[in-house]
Amino acid sequence: MEPAAWPGVFREGRDLYTRNARPGESVYGERRVARDGVEYRLWDPFRSKLAALFARGAVPALPPRVERVLYLGAAHGTTASHLSDVWPEAALFVVEKSPTSFAPLLALARRRANLYPLLADAQLPERYRADVGLADVLYQDVAQRGQAAIFAENARACLAPGGLGVLMLKIRSVTQRLPAAQVVREARRELGVAGLPVRSETPLAPFSREHAALVTGGPSASSSDH
């Protein structure tokens, strides 16, 4: 097992792993392996877009410290559980708007003390910004229209200026009408206008089709609410 991508992420052969914060437990049926007395959970790029980003070789630079994370669209917590492994000392605020998905997310958070679940709509960051404070990392994976606008609003409300933003853009949730490249270009433009220039753009195929990962920094002082 060798260190890979971010601190707390490991690689063995082509497979990615995180060190299991809850040894003996899988979260979504993923394989666990023990090496030198440490248990790791397999991080499947076909199940998690962040693992797909790493598998594509695009590793976003982290801020010097990660103490607070805002995660929008956590669903059942597949990816969030790996981030919970990666940053055991951080507070991860995981937002999900569907009550059906929120129930398993809540159950997961009961077993992982660094997950703070919020049943909320990511379109209304004013509802949770006081709880979240300033996040070092903003991660968004919501399949709906207006994804770039939602990301920009949340960055303005909750992302620290030196922070990291990762938008997993689901192209076909934005529109069915326009070519994929145009949808991505428009999202990049919207983020740029919001003071969040895109540092890198990575298509997630073959792991996640019709998705592009857009990586930004935190908002510039003039475009933030802080």
Ligand X SMILES: C[S@@+](CC[C@H](N)C(=O)[O-])C[C@H]1O[C@@H](n2cnc3c(N)ncnc32)[C@H](O)[C@@H]1O
- Binding residues vs ligand X (CB under 6 A): 48-49, 72-75, 78-79, 95-98, 101, 121-123, 141-144
Give me the helices (H) in 56-142, please: 78-86, 99-111, 129-132
User: What order of strands is seen across the sheet that includes strand 32-35?
Assistant: 2-4, 9-12, 15-19, 38-43, 32-35
Residue 222 CB, nearest approach to ligand X (Å): 27
**Phi/psi at 221 (5° precision):** -55, -35
The nearer residue to ligand X, 78 or 216, going by C-beta atoms, is 78
The nearer residue to ligand X, 161 or 202, going by C-beta atoms, is 202
Residue 96 CB, nearest approach to ligand X (Å): 5
Residue 3 CB, nearest approach to ligand X (Å): 23
The nearer residue to ligand X, 90 or 168, going by C-beta atoms, is 168
Residue 60 CB, nearest approach to ligand X (Å): 16
Q: Which of 101, 137, 135, 143 lies closest to 118, judged by CA? A: 101
- Spatial separation of the C-alpha atoms in residues 59 and 99, rounded to whole Å: 32
Residue 63 CB, nearest approach to ligand X (Å): 21
Residue facing ligand X at closest CB distance: 73
The nearer residue to ligand X, 28 or 161, going by C-beta atoms, is 28
**Phi/psi at 87 (5° precision):** -120, 70
- Spatial separation of the C-alpha atoms in residues 138 and 154, rounded to whole Å: 8
The nearer residue to ligand X, 146 or 161, going by C-beta atoms, is 146
